[in-house]
């Protein structure tokens, strides 16, 4: 178990650094006034992909991970469908 501690610490540190970088980028864009409306069709598409991924993980790997992926997929799907009127039209 102790061999996993440095690996977990590195993963957590990397996620924190990525989160800080994303926060700075969003803050900079917001300050410049370049923040736009999200493309809600992408939320729908991501939800449609994550639900089957959750099923596969639930069967093959671990039911808890599968349920988490399925729940996230359902949330993304709901966000996309709730904002269907704001989907960007194909050009």
> What pLDDT does 89 receive?
67
Q: Give 11's contacts (C-beta < 8 A, 6+ positions apart).
A: none
Contact (Cβ atoms closer than 8 angstroms) between residue 53 and residue 71:
no
Query: How do residues 30-43 score in pLDDT, each as one tens digit?
Result: 888 777 778 889 99
Q: What pLDDT digit, counting tens, does each position of 13-70 carry?
A: 999 999 999 999 888 888 887 777 788 899 999 999 999 999 998 999 888 888 999 9
Which of residues 4 and 10 earns the better pLDDT score? 10
| Predicted local confidence at residue 30, as pLDDT | 83
């Amino acid at each position: 178990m102790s061999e996993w501690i440095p690996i977990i610490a590195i993963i957590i540190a990397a996620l924190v650094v990525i989160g800080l970088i994303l926060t700075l980028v969003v803050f900079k864009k917001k300050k410049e006034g370049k923040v736009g409306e999200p493309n809600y069709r992408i939320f729908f598409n991501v939800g449609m992909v994550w639900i089957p991924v959750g099923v596969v993980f639930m069967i093959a790997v671990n039911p808890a991970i599968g349920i988490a992926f399925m729940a996230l997929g359902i949330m993304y799907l709901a966000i996309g469908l709730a904002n269907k009127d704001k989907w960007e039209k194909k050009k």
